[in-house]
Amino acid sequence: MPVKMITVDEKDDNIRVDRWFARHYPELKNGQLQRLIRGKNIRVNGAKTSADTRLHTGDILRVPPMDVSEKSNLPRKLSKADIEFMQSLVIHKDDDVIVLNKPSGIAVQGGSGTVRHIDGMLDALRFEKDEKPRLVHRLDKDTSGILLLGRSANAAAKLAESFASREAKKVYWALVYGKPKLLSGKIDAPLSKMSGEKGGEQMRVDFENGQKAQTLYHVIDSLARKASWLEMMPLSGRTHQLRVHCLTLNTPIVGDGKYMDKTRETMGLKDENKLHLHARAIKIPHPRKGVLEIYAKIPQHIKDSFEFLGFDEKSAQDPFEYFVRGER
């Protein structure tokens, strides 16, 4: 496959290089892209570039030989069970967007030792389309709830832009140990990656060198000071943001083995070792017109814990209305 010299189209004006590749070469992993950039295999107008370089209409982009673009549009062979599983997750579908209610325990994308993941089974969600849908954001493996997919490159790009500009409003539910001193507020605690940690990526609060991270929260219900049901709206999108921000309230999320103090007394829940964090709702501009507002039912392990603690889902208010009032 020869080198391609591609003229940037008007619809891609002002897009970053990495987002251009995510739009046009969705199968190319970020690590692969970074290696191509470091090796100066990708150039803009003949000059070396970086992932965050902005492209403009008429720019000439050098794309090195890659097989991913041709492979990406070929349906992957999936088992009947995988197809049924993926289609059972769909809670909304239109011409531009598919919304999934992702279960806890399955990764969104592949990685070291991860063979089965959402990204690898997206061919099950082509339905009447010739192309498979594209991921536009991610959830941690153990976080359940809303996951949006764009059904075309254009739709995926518009959804991704809404996430990048913070037009997308996301609401999460979490069951936590303890009870915050303040029943509502804004957590403003910058985050950075911890170095030298084993067992996967881990974040920490870092007021000196961390990246800005803010979360609105309020307590929907609580059981004395033993457990609380939190509703949270992240105002930024840092790795493990909600999990670490809950620690700053001294209320770790139930089942968070990565961050929780292992000596903490348990509550006797049926699935206390499973993460109780759920992407409950999203409000985002639709790629074509209007606004998409979607809610995802909580998974069984959180439902069981709520019933055990006497928390009633019907007691939750409209989260978008509540948090809009809180930001004023």
Q: What is the pLDDT of residues 183-231, one digit of tens each?
A: 999 999 999 988 755 556 789 999 999 999 999 999 999 999 999 999 9
Segment 13-27 shows an average pLDDT of: 81
Range name among 41-50, 113-122, 233-242, 319-328 with the lowest pLDDT average: 319-328
pLDDT given for residue 73 in this prediction: 54
Inform me whether the pLDDT recorded for 260 exceeds 70.
yes
Give the CATH number, domain containing residue 240: 3.30.2350.10
Identify the sign of the CA torsion 172, 177, 182, 186. negative
Q: How far apart are CA 64 and CA 97, in angstroms?
A: 31
How many domains are there within the chain? 3
97: which residues sit within 8 A by CB, 6+ positions away? 148, 149, 150, 151, 155, 159, 286, 287, 292
Boundary of a domain, candidates 106, 132, 164: 164
Task: State whether 173 and 201 are in the same domain.
Answer: yes
Q: How far apart are CA 320 and CA 328, in angstroms?
A: 13
The tokens for 112 are 């070291």
Give the CATH number, domain containing residue 35: 3.10.290.10
Boundary of a domain, candidates 20, 46, 72: 72
Between residues 19 and 38, the one the model is more confident about: 38
The tokens for 180 are 């915050």
Inform me whether the pLDDT recorded for 290 exceeds 80.
yes
Task: State whether 195 and 67 are in the same domain.
Answer: no
User: For the chain, how many residues are written?
Assistant: 328
Q: Residue 239 is part of which domain span?
A: 169-327
Task: State whether 127 and 241 are in the same domain.
Answer: no
Between residues 206 and 260, the one the model is more confident about: 206
Task: State whether 308 and 159 are in the same domain.
Answer: no
The tokens for 107 are 């990764």
Q: Quickly state the pLDDT bin for 70 (edges 50, 70, 90).
A: very low
Write the DSSP assignment of 143-178 as a string of letters. -EEEEEEESSHHHHHHHHHHHHTT-SEEEEEEEEES
Q: How far apart are CA 89 and CA 322, in angstroms?
A: 28
Segment 85-90 shows an average pLDDT of: 98
Q: In the annotation, is 140 catalytic?
A: yes
Boundary of a domain, candidates 24, 52, 72: 72
- Mean pLDDT across the chain: 89
Q: What is the pLDDT of residues 136-176, one digit of tens each?
A: 999 999 999 999 999 998 899 899 889 888 899 999 999 99
pLDDT given for residue 328 in this prediction: 42
Task: State whether 104 and 242 are in the same domain.
Answer: no
Residue from 96, 140, 142, 256 carrying the catalytic annotation: 140
User: Which of the residue ranges 103-117, 122-136, 273-287 has the most confident prediction, judged by mean pLDDT?
Assistant: 273-287
pLDDT given for residue 31 in this prediction: 77
Q: Quickly state the pLDDT bin for 94 (edges 50, 70, 90).
A: very high
pLDDT given for residue 74 in this prediction: 54
pLDDT given for residue 261 in this prediction: 82
Task: State whether 101 and 39 are in the same domain.
Answer: no
The tokens for 274 are 């499973």
